[in-house]
Amino acid sequence: MYSPAPTGDAPPDVRCGGQRVLVSSVSSDSHTWNLVFLQLMLEELGHEVINIGSCVPDDLLIEECRRTNPDMVVISSVNGHGHLDGRRLIGRLRAEPDLSGLPVVIGGKLGTRGAENRMYGPELLAAGFDAVFEDTAGVAPFRRYLAQAGRPALDRAPRGTPALVASGEIA
């Protein structure tokens, strides 16, 4: 689904009052409607969205973070491998000095255990995600997170706060 823009075709550095949000799936996941849903919701909230699609290799995500300079990265996965792909991916991203402080969240159906997928929250946070949103909690926790992080682009929420997992919020 994803076809990278040619080098030099980076979007202009504007924030339009909202945030520039890079939406992506993980390398193994071919589902796309989850990404379309997130894009539409984020755009409705006034954010600028760059949706790089499904089956995105880690290297390509890193490259796109550098090329598009987002305020936030939103990772979505529903095929059940999200907790594994996510852990690997965030490790790669945090190992890059220029991307180590970039706000990155993950959500969706992160395992194959339904509501019990919330068990993956703590390990994904420990691996480096700023917040984890399990599918069964709906999108309200994510909208609250965005409202907090949506203050002026340079006033980013400090890493690790607030983390929202499943139906509960953890400090």
142 binds ligand B12 (CB under 6 A): yes
Q: From the CB of 88, what's the least distance to ligand B12, in Å? A: 15
Residues 6 or more apart whose Cβ sits within 8 Å of residue 142: 105, 107, 133, 164
- Position with the least CB separation from ligand B12: 107
Reference 150, options 53, 41, 36, 55; nearest CA is 41
Site string for ligand B12, 97-136 (x = CB under 6 A): --------x-xxx--x--------------------x-x-
Q: Which is nearer to ligand B12, 98 or 157 (CB)?
A: 157
Instruction: Considering only the C-alpha atoms of the chain, give the largest distance between any 2 of them, rounded to a whole number of Å.
Output: 44
Burial class for 131, CB neighbours closer than 10 Å (0-12, 13-18, 19+): buried
d(CA 124, CA 91) in angstroms, rounded, equals 10
Q: Which is nearer to ligand B12, 64 or 106 (CB)?
A: 106
DSSP helix/strand/coil, 73: strand
Which region, judged by CB under 6 A, interacts with ligand B12, from 2-10, 12-20, 58-66, 76-84? 76-84
Which region, judged by CB under 6 A, interacts with ligand B12, from 27-35, 84-92, 96-104, 146-154? 27-35
Site string for ligand B12, 28-47 (x = CB under 6 A): xxxxxxx--xx---------
CA separation (Å) from 99 to 1, 22, 27, 138?
25, 13, 19, 28
Which region, judged by CB under 6 A, interacts with ligand B12, from 6-14, 22-30, 58-66, 92-100? 22-30
163 binds ligand B12 (CB under 6 A): no
71 binds ligand B12 (CB under 6 A): no
